[in-house]
Amino acid sequence: MSAEPLLSVRDLCVHFRTDRGIVKAVDGLSFDVAPGEVLGLVGESGSGKTVANLALLGLVPRPPAFYPRGEVRFAGQELLHASERVLRSVRGRRIAMIFQDPMTSLNPYLSVERQLTEVLELHERISRQAARIRAIDMLAKVGMPDPERRIDAFPHELSGGMRQRVMIAMALLCNPELLIADEPTTAVDVTVQAQVLELIRDLQRGSSMSVILVTHDLGVVAGMAHRIAVMYAGRIVETASTDALFTRPRHPYTQGLLASIPRMDTPRGQSLSPIPGLPPDLSNLPSGCPFRPRCSKAFADCEAAYPELTACGSDHLVRCFAAERGET
Amino acid sequence: MIAEQSASSSADDVLVGSSLWRDAWLRLKRNRMAMAGLGVTLALTALSFGGPFVTHALWGYDYESQNLAYGARPPSAAHWFGTDYFGRDLLTRVLFGGQISLTVGLLAASVAASIGTLYGAVSGYAGGRIDGLMMRIVDVIYALPYMFLVIVLVTIFGKSLPLLFLSLGMVGWLMTARIVRGQMLSLKEREFVLAARSLGVRNYTILFRHLIPNTLGPIIVYFTLTVPSMILQEAFLSFLGLGVQAPRPSLGALISDGAQHMAVFWWELVFPGGLMALLLFSLNFLGDGVRDALDPSSRGRS
How many interchain CB pairs under 8 A, A with B?
90
Query: Which of the four pLDDT bands, split at 50, 70 and 90, describes residue B227?
Result: confident
The pair phi, psi for residue B136, each rounded to 5°, is -65, -40
- Sort out which chain A residues have CB atoms less than 8 A from B210's CB and list them: 107, 110
* Residue B9 pLDDT: 39
**Residue B252 domain-assigned?**
yes
* Residue B296 pLDDT: 62
Task: Give pLDDT tens digits for A87-131.
Answer: 888 888 889 988 887 778 888 888 888 888 988 888 888 888 888
- Across chain B, mean pLDDT equals 80
- Sort out which chain B residues have CB atoms less than 8 A from A94's CB and list them: none
Q: Which residues are CB-contacts of B113 (< 8 A; sequence separation ≥ 6)?
A: B173, B176, B219, B222, B223, B226
Give chain A's residues under pLDDT 70. Answer: 1-3, 266, 327-328
- Distance CA(B61)–CA(B92), nearest Å, equals 7
3-state secondary structure of B203: helix
Bridge partners of residue A212, in order along the sequence? A39, A180
The pair phi, psi for residue B31, each rounded to 5°, is -90, 105
- Across chain A, mean pLDDT equals 83
- Sort out which chain A residues have CB atoms less than 8 A from B196's CB and list them: 107, 118
Q: Give how far A36 is from chain B: nearest CA, Å.
A: 21
- Sort out which chain A residues have CB atoms less than 8 A from B213's CB and list them: 107, 109-110
Ordered DSSP codes for A190-247: HHHHHHHHHHHHHHHHTS--EEEEEES-HHHHHTT-SEEEEEETTEEEEEEEHHHHHH
Those residues of chain B whose CB sits closer than 8 Å to some CB in chain A are: 14-21, 190-192, 194-202, 209-210, 213-214, 216
* Residue B115 pLDDT: 92
**Residue B259 domain-assigned?**
yes
> Looking at the predicted structure, is the pLDDT value of residue B14 above 70?
no
- Please, is A323 exposed, middle or buried when counting C-beta atoms within 10 Å of its C-beta (0-12, 13-18, 19+)? buried
Name the residue with higher pLDDT: A324 or B46: B46
Closest chain B CA to residue A152? B17
- Sort out which chain A residues have CB atoms less than 8 A from B26's CB and list them: none
Whether residue A152 and residue B17 make contact (CB cut-off 8 A), yes or no, is yes
**Residue B60 domain-assigned?**
yes
Whether residue B210 and residue A110 make contact (CB cut-off 8 A), yes or no, is yes
Whether residue A111 and residue B17 make contact (CB cut-off 8 A), yes or no, is yes
* Residue A221 pLDDT: 83
Domain span including residue B201: 38-295
Q: Which residues are CB-contacts of B216 (< 8 A; sequence separation ≥ 6)?
A: A109
A281-298 burial code (b ≥16 CB/10 A, e <16): ebeebeebbbbbebbebb
3-state secondary structure of A13: strand
Query: Which of the four pLDDT bands, split at 50, 70 and 90, describes residue B298?
Result: low
> Looking at the predicted structure, is the pLDDT value of residue B5 above 60?
no
- Return the half-sphere exposure (C-beta side, CA atoms, 13 A cut-off) of residue A296: 10
Q: Are B224 and B287 in contact (CB under 8 A)?
A: yes
Mean pLDDT over B261-270 rounds to: 77
Mean pLDDT over B123-135 rounds to: 90
Whether residue B194 and residue A167 make contact (CB cut-off 8 A), yes or no, is no
CATH code of the domain in which B93 resides: 1.10.3720.10
* Residue B119 pLDDT: 93
* Residue B120 pLDDT: 92
- Sort out which chain B residues have CB atoms less than 8 A from A167's CB and list them: 195
Whether residue B191 and residue A105 make contact (CB cut-off 8 A), yes or no, is yes
**Residue B3 domain-assigned?**
no
Whether residue B20 and residue A109 make contact (CB cut-off 8 A), yes or no, is yes
* Residue A3 pLDDT: 59
Length of chain A: 328
- Distance CA(A292)–CA(A276), nearest Å, equals 11
**Residue B25 domain-assigned?**
no
**Residue B232 domain-assigned?**
yes
Whether residue A57 and residue B198 make contact (CB cut-off 8 A), yes or no, is yes
Name the residue with higher pLDDT: B74 or A215: A215
3-state secondary structure of A19: coil
Q: Give how far A292 is from chain B: nearest CA, Å.
A: 35
- Inter-CA distances, B218 with A298, A300, B185, Å: 58, 62, 14
Whether residue B200 and residue A88 make contact (CB cut-off 8 A), yes or no, is yes
Query: Which of the four pLDDT bands, split at 50, 70 and 90, describes residue B24?
Result: confident
Mean pLDDT over B54-77 rounds to: 73
Q: How many CB atoms lie within 10 A of CB B230?
A: 23
- Sort out which chain B residues have CB atoms less than 8 A from A100's CB and list them: 191
**Residue B188 domain-assigned?**
yes
CA–chain centroid gap for A190, Å, is 19
- Distance CA(A259)–CA(A311), nearest Å, equals 23
Name the residue with higher pLDDT: B172 or B9: B172
* Residue B16 pLDDT: 63
| Mutation site, A107, A122, A166, A179, interface B, largest B CB count within 10 A | A107
Q: Which residues are CB-contacts of A93 (< 8 A; sequence separation ≥ 6)?
A: A122, A123, A174, A176, B200
Closest CB to A119: pick one of B194, B199, B202.
Answer: B199
Whether residue B19 and residue A153 make contact (CB cut-off 8 A), yes or no, is no
- Distance CA(A108)–CA(A155), nearest Å, equals 6
Closest CB to A59: pick one of B21, B198, B213.
Answer: B198
Whether residue A99 and residue B194 make contact (CB cut-off 8 A), yes or no, is yes
- Provide the number of structural domains found in chain B: 1
Whether residue A91 and residue B195 make contact (CB cut-off 8 A), yes or no, is no
* Residue B209 pLDDT: 86
Task: Give pLDDT tens digits for A205-215.
Answer: 888 889 998 88
3-state secondary structure of A260: coil
Whether residue A100 and residue B191 make contact (CB cut-off 8 A), yes or no, is yes
